Structure 1
Amino acid sequence: MHSAKRIAVIGAGGKTTTLSKLAGLHRTERVLLTTTTHIFPFSPLVCDRLCIAPTAEEITQALAQPGVVCAGVPSKNSKLTGLSEEILQAASQSADWIFYEADGAKCLPLKLHSNTEPVILPGTAHCFVVAGLSAWGKPTCEVIHRYQLREDWAQNPGRLVDGAIIADCVRDAVKACGLPRAHLTVLLNQVDTATEKMDEIAAMARELEAEGVTCKTCSLQEDGDLAKILSLESIL
């Protein structure tokens, strides 16, 4: 039986952009954009059809032809929350891809995870972990969602973010995700904001790679080679 490939996006500093770019790269196929937490509906520039609280029949119909469908259930602050398992199963039988956001970051470039997140769907084939390099050099308390979860950061909230802190945020996400490291890609995003730190960023990436984590340094808003950076065909 046909079943869509499920791809999660977690972390901070570019999740929405990652989802938008993934959808764009696969627009000639049948794509569902959704969440297991909360997202704002994607704009018509990204999605072809918006399905609010769809029935199984409605989601199947929306995914009957190629294009990008954004779907979810109305929540507070004009956001959408996740679809029920029944609706997800119906979507899985029609879509080629399900790209979904699996945690929240309050629009900050880095985050730590509580013990209830990320919410990873069963059968998820791959997960992109995003970390925003724009946090570099800024106070921990201003740029890391839930920074207080690390006792040493909570005690020194003014500590400036460096490569060690960013790497620890990535490690936190890798651990929280629970998928094998071979099924993860770390996107060190917003490199355009930290060009003077390229040597340190490269050293951080090598350190993470040595731990078995695939890292790609990028600027998702600007890079012209996103097909390579976000390639799933070479992974799955």
Structure 2
Amino acid sequence: MISYFRDDRLCEADSFLSVVKPDDTECPMIAAVGAGGKTSTLRRLAEEYALMGKKAIVLTTTHMREETTPWSCVAEEEEWISKGNALLERVKECLEQYGQAWIGARAKKGKMSCVPELILAEIESWNVPLLVEADGARMLPLKVPGEQEPVLLPQTTHVFSVYGMDALDQKLEEICFRSEKAAELLGKQPEDQVTEEDIIKLACHEQGGRKGCPKQAEYIVVLNKADTKELQERACKIAKCLHENGIKNIFVTSYKL
């Protein structure tokens, strides 16, 4: 389920791309930051491109879980350096066969990290949309970025800032990555419950969801895990406040519905 906020209400959308239309740019680089559904959002975007008959590459500038799909192209960093041409051919094969490729350097604990800079530069020259996971949250539904986070490339054209609606009414210290930093930013105690106002503040704050967003990039908020009617109604209230604060594109999603 994907809805977008327009005219004080939620409207059903066929896709993210039908609303945001990033293909208006020559070669979009779409980054996902925040918590509560970054990888799922990028997966949905990759599927949308494939359904349109277009290709997309998914990668990370930090760490993300390694995919086990046929379109996963993950290798040791040394291999990307020593066998880069062969691996790039594999990426091209995935793009032709599946319409998408997920690429990365193999890391610990079943994760992958960013490919070497030379490989990234080569891939950028292909003029294929790049979908970048630019933040980490340890599987929690909320986060506040650290000093070096998020890792947004300067050529980023769109930033999808993701929030998990299942954080509402939960203790900040239990569901927020960097909860002490979040408590300071929100003026709360770590044991306080998360409210709609907290998500609004995080999404609008220059040290929250907007942190590091390049000036030319379009900032988009995704209120994910709105898996019940109640959460959808609460997300709509959040979206209205975000819109009043100048955020143009706000989505309410549930990848379960």
CA shift for structure 1 position 155: 6.1
Is the Cα–Cα contact under 8 Å of residues 181 and 212 in structure 1 kept in the other structure? no
SS at 1:39 equivalent: strand
Name the structure 2 match of 1:156.
189
Name the structure 1 match of 2:58.
33
CA shift for structure 1 position 153: 6.1
Is the Cα–Cα contact under 8 Å of residues 74 and 81 in structure 1 kept in the other structure? yes
Unmatched tracts of structure 2, length 5 or more:
1-25
Name the structure 1 match of 2:73.
50
Match of 1:207 among 241, 254, 257: 241
Is the Cα–Cα contact under 8 Å of residues 49 and 62 in structure 1 kept in the other structure? no
Q: Percent identity at matched positions?
A: 28
Q: How does 1:29-108 map to 2 (within 5 A)?
A: 29-44=54-69, 48-52=71-75, 53=77, 54-55=80-81, 56-64=84-92, 65-66=95-96, 67-94=99-126, 96-108=128-140
Is the Cα–Cα contact under 8 Å of residues 30 and 95 in structure 1 kept in the other structure? no
* Larger deviation, residues 79-88 vs 55-64: 55-64
CA shift for structure 1 position 68: 1.5
1:42 alignment partner AA: E
Is the Cα–Cα contact under 8 Å of residues 110 and 169 in structure 1 kept in the other structure? no
Distance 1:197 1:23, change over 3 A: closer
Unmatched tracts of structure 1, length 5 or more:
223-236
**Take 1:217 and 1:166, find their aligned partners in 2: how far apart are those partners?**
13
Is the Cα–Cα contact under 8 Å of residues 108 and 145 in structure 1 kept in the other structure? yes
Name the structure 1 match of 2:42.
19
**Take 1:63 and 1:126, find their aligned partners in 2: how far apart are those partners?**
23
CA RMSD of aligned residues (A): 2.3
1:146 alignment partner AA: R
CA shift for structure 1 position 90: 0.8
Distance 1:17 1:48, change over 3 A: same
CA shift for structure 1 position 84: 2.0
CA shift for structure 1 position 4: 4.2
Match of 1:170 among 203, 222, 231: 203
Name the structure 2 match of 1:179.
214
TM-score, normalised with respect to structure 1: 0.83
Name the structure 1 match of 2:252.
217
CA shift for structure 1 position 95: 5.2
Is the Cα–Cα contact under 8 Å of residues 64 and 133 in structure 2 kept in the other structure? yes
Distance 1:157 1:41, change over 3 A: same
Is the Cα–Cα contact under 8 Å of residues 60 and 94 in structure 1 kept in the other structure? no
Name the structure 2 match of 1:229.
none
Name the structure 2 match of 1:145.
177
Aligned length: 217
**Take 1:146 and 1:5, find their aligned partners in 2: how far apart are those partners?**
30
Is the Cα–Cα contact under 8 Å of residues 157 and 217 in structure 2 kept in the other structure? no
Distance 1:181 1:112, change over 3 A: farther
* Larger deviation, residues 167-176 vs 83-92: 167-176
Distance 1:89 1:217, change over 3 A: same
* Larger deviation, residues 205-214 vs 138-147: 205-214
**Take 2:49 and 2:190, find their aligned partners in 1: how far apart are those partners?**
41
**Take 2:225 and 2:152, find their aligned partners in 1: how far apart are those partners?**
25
CA shift for structure 1 position 92: 1.3
TM-score, normalised with respect to structure 2: 0.76
1:209 alignment partner AA: H
Distance 1:124 1:182, change over 3 A: closer
> 1:167-204, CA deviations, whole angstroms, 9 ceiling, x for partnerless residues?
122224433132348601101111114x3254443222
